[in-house]
Amino acid sequence: MEITASLVKELRERTGAGMMECKKALAENNADIDTAAEWLRKSGLAKADKKAGRVAAEGRIAMAQDGGKAVLVEINSETDFVAKDSNFLGFTESVAQAALASGAADAEALKSAKLPTGETVEETRAAVIAKVGENVQVRRLVRTDSANNVAAYVHGGRIGVLVEVKGGDAELARGLAMHVAAMNPPHIKASDVPAEFVAKEKEIELAKMSDKDKNKPADILEKIISGKIAKIVNEVTLYGQPYVLDTNQSVEQVLKAAGAEVVSMQRLAVGEGIEKVVEDYAAEVMKQAGLA
C-alpha cells in the first residue's frame, strides 16, 4: 500500500509524532495506520521509560471549569523551555478538560481517561515525551463540585487555585482565588489553626520578651501575648489577611459585608515538594578533565 502525504498527515494528527517517525511507522507496518499508531505508541512508551527517572519539577497548572465543577491539574516537565512548548501546552489543556469530563478523583485515575483523539491520557503522555524529549508527568489533580460559587484561577501557568464560596457572587469568588494565589494562606480561619502551632508561638513570644515585661502582672502579660498571637494567626489565615484587592479591609470584613463565607480553598504551585537537582556544570567538567 502506498504511503501518501495525507496518510502521514493523518497519523501525525492522531499520534502527535514527527513526520519522519510517522513515515517510518507506516513503512514498518505496510501502511496500515492503526498498526502504525500502535507501533508509535509502543515506541513512545519505550522512550518514556528511559526518561521516567529524570526529575520533572517544572511544568504548568491547567484548569477547566463548568459552573460549580472545576479542576486543577499539575503536569510537570524537566525544563521551563518545554513547559512553554506548544505540544506540552496542548497536552495540558486537553488533560484538564478530560479531568473535568471524566470525574477522575486523582492523577492515577486520570491516566485512563480518554482524550478527544480516542487515546488515553497515559498513551498521549508517552507520545508527548517522545516528541519533546523530556520526562513529562501528570502529578496532581484537585477538583470541586458544588452548588456554591466556585472560582478557578491560574496565575502565570504556575499557581492554580480553587475557591468555593457560600453566598456572595462570582466576582467575589474570583477575587478570593486571586488572593489565595498571591498570599498562600495555610488556613481559612482562626479555628482551623492547630493548637500545637498556637502553643509553640506563645512559647516563642515569651522567650523573646524582656525580663521587665515577663515580670508584669499575669493579666497584663496575657493581654500582651494574646495580642501578638492574634497578629500571627491573622497572618496565617485567609480571613485574617488584608484583602489583596482592597488592603484597607481584611478578607473577613469583605466576606461579612457580602454575607458570604469560604467553604474550601485548594492551591497548587508547580514543583512544590519536588527536590530539584542543581547541576554544577563547571565542577563536572573539571572533574572529567582531572582538574578536581
Question: Which sequence spans correspond to the domains of the chain?
Answer: 5-51, 52-145, 190-249
Residue owning grid cell 529524570: 54
Of 132, 135, 114, which is closest to residue 49 (Cα–Cα)?
135
The answer to pTM > 0.85 is no
Domain 52-145 has CATH 3.40.630.10: no
Average pLDDT, the chain: 87
User: What residues are paired with 267 via a beta bridge?
Assistant: 161
21 pLDDT higher than 90? no
Whether residue 15 is predicted with pLDDT greater than 70 in this model: the reply is no
- Report how far Cα 128 is from the mean position of its chain's Cα atoms: 19
Per-residue model confidence (pLDDT) at position 45: 43
150, three cell numbers: 466556585
Instruction: Compute the distance between CA of residue 37 and CA of residue 262 in angstroms, rounded to an integer.
Output: 48
CB 75 within 8 A of CB 271: no
Bridge partners of 72? Answer: 63, 142
CATH homologous superfamily, domain 5-51: Ubiquitin-associated (UBA) domain (1.10.8.10)
Lowest-pLDDT choice from 16-20, 51-55, 131-135, 180-184: 51-55
With the C-alpha atoms ordered 19, 25, 30, 36, is the resulting torsion angle positive or negative?
negative
> Which pLDDT band, with edges at 50, 70 and 90, does 48 fall under?
low
